[in-house]
Amino acid sequence: MITVPAMRLHQFGVYFYQAILSVRDVQKLVRFEVLSYSGDSRTHGKRPLKTQRAGKINWDVLEQKIAQSEEAFQRPVIQKKIAELMDYYLQCAEAQNLPAIPGPVLLTCDRRLDFVPISSHRILGVLQLPPDEGALRALDGQHRLLALNQLAQEHPTEDVQVPAVIFDRLSADQIVELFVTINAKHTKLNPSHLISLSGRRLYPDTELAISHDIVRTLSEDSGSPLHREIKLFGVGHGHVAQAPLAEELKGVLTALDAFGGGKQADEFREHATRFFLNYFKQIAKVFPKAWSGKRYSIKTAAALRAFLRVVPDVLSAIRKSGGDPFDAAAIATVIELWGEYIGDARFETDGEWRQKLAGGTRGTVDVLARELRSALRVP
């Protein structure tokens, strides 16, 4: 076991520890990971070629230290922030007048930790940490620790101590909730990242969980007309944010109970991803020029939200015609009049779209949804 000096704290029934770690402890014990589905988003942003003090950073080596999985909760590491932190650490080392990491980083451990008191009031003592690599998980301060880890590769850090708050009795959902509580206000956690954590790990919300799965499939499925068009977690490829689409989808799923409900609504939720893939494929066929052209706004958040908003009406029309809601041909039959009555020109960025936009984005969504609804082929 690795023993470090620590204090045991108690707040509202929760015990945790304020410990002192060396840089060597950080290098050995702390594991870094980010939330990822595609396996190619460890870091985000333009790689700084050279920093002012730290010199060139080997980003390939740094990224190898960062794991990624669907079970993580951290956002992709911001490369600019790492470079700035490394320069700041060296500035502190040169000036010798400021601490580089004055506040504690937050870490979690999957195992229960042993604390040995060394004082009569049983608050001061030593904390026993498992010696396994990656035994601790970064909850807050991942950028600070990654930068320190990299700095230690080329600069002396033997006299650097890192204050850390360590939790060992938190469940998985408590860890995610604590992460969101810390970041949503102080560092303005992107709403799209919150959508990725909601529904299953943050709090039970079936509609939001299904909505996230739909948006993720629309963005990542190579056969989707919206492939790589949606920004998951608020970063990476794409032009449309994940959050407004997921919230719109949640409203659609909630409205299904008013458009049939019961067994039909449950069946749709179960196979919703298949429907939306077929739905947007048919939309792309109805508006081929707008969908593939660069001077159109059909793949903006406002337009996509409008297409989503009329889904309950589309489903109702399909069922009235006796069709299968999950069949591409049935969807095409119901929306084919959109091409005739609305047309590609409706989405020209410098044409009618700009005129409608002058009334406000929300108005644009409402107006377009009304137009789409009135042009459905309803038996």
Confidence tier at 67 by pLDDT (50, 70, 90): confident
> Does the pLDDT of residue 336 top 60, yes or no?
yes
DSSP 68: E
Q: Which of 38-47, 220-229, 284-293 has the lowest mean pLDDT?
A: 38-47
15-19, 158-162, 351-355, 369-373, range with the lowest pLDDT: 351-355
Q: What is the pLDDT of residue 167?
A: 92
Domain ranges across the chain:
2-186, 191-374
What was the pLDDT predicted at 268? Answer: 86
Per residue in 3-60, pLDDT (tens digit) is: 999 999 998 888 999 999 999 999 999 988 877 656 566 666 666 555 665 566 777 7
pLDDT (mean) for 216-238: 82
Q: Which three-class secondary structure string do you get for 200-215?
A: CCCCECHHHHHHHHHH
Cα–Cα nearest to 184, from 194, 192, 175 = 194
**Residue 209, pLDDT score:** 82
Residues in CB range of 341: below 8 A, 6 or more apart: 371, 374, 375
The per-residue pLDDT of the chain, averaged, comes to: 83
pLDDT above 60 for 185: no
What pLDDT shows up at residue 197? 61
For residues 253 and 265, give the distance between their C-alpha atoms in angstroms, rounded to a whole number.
8
Q: How far apart are CA 347 and CA 6, in angstroms?
A: 62
DSSP lists the bridge partners of residue 22 as 161
| pLDDT of amino acid 156 | 84
Looking at the predicted structure, is the pLDDT value of residue 234 above 70? no
Query: Which range (13-22, 47-56, 221-230, 368-377) has the least confidence?
Result: 47-56
Higher-confidence position of 109 and 119: 109
Burial grade of 10 (CB within 10 A; 0-12, 13-18, 19 or more): exposed
| Euclidean distance between CA atoms 243 and 246, whole angstroms | 5
Per-residue pLDDT tens over the stretch 76-100? 777 888 888 888 888 888 777 788 8
Residue 104 has pLDDT above 90, yes or no: yes
Question: For a pLDDT cut of 70, what percent of the chain falls above it?
Answer: 81
Q: Give the pLDDT score at 288.
A: 96
Q: Would the pLDDT of 191 be above 60?
A: no
Q: Report the range out of 209-213, 253-257, 327-331 with the highest average pLDDT.
A: 327-331
Is 344 a residue whose pLDDT tops 90? Answer: yes
In this model, does residue 149 exceed pLDDT 60? yes
- In this prediction, residue 199 carries a pLDDT of 54
What distance in Å separates the CA atoms of residue 283 and residue 343, rounded to the nearest whole number? 11
- Helix ranges (H only) for the chain are 23-29, 59-64, 79-95, 142-151, 172-186, 191-197, 206-220, 242-255, 262-270, 272-286, 288-292, 301-309, 311-320, 328-335, 337-341, 352-357, 361-374
Tokens 């870091």 correspond to 43
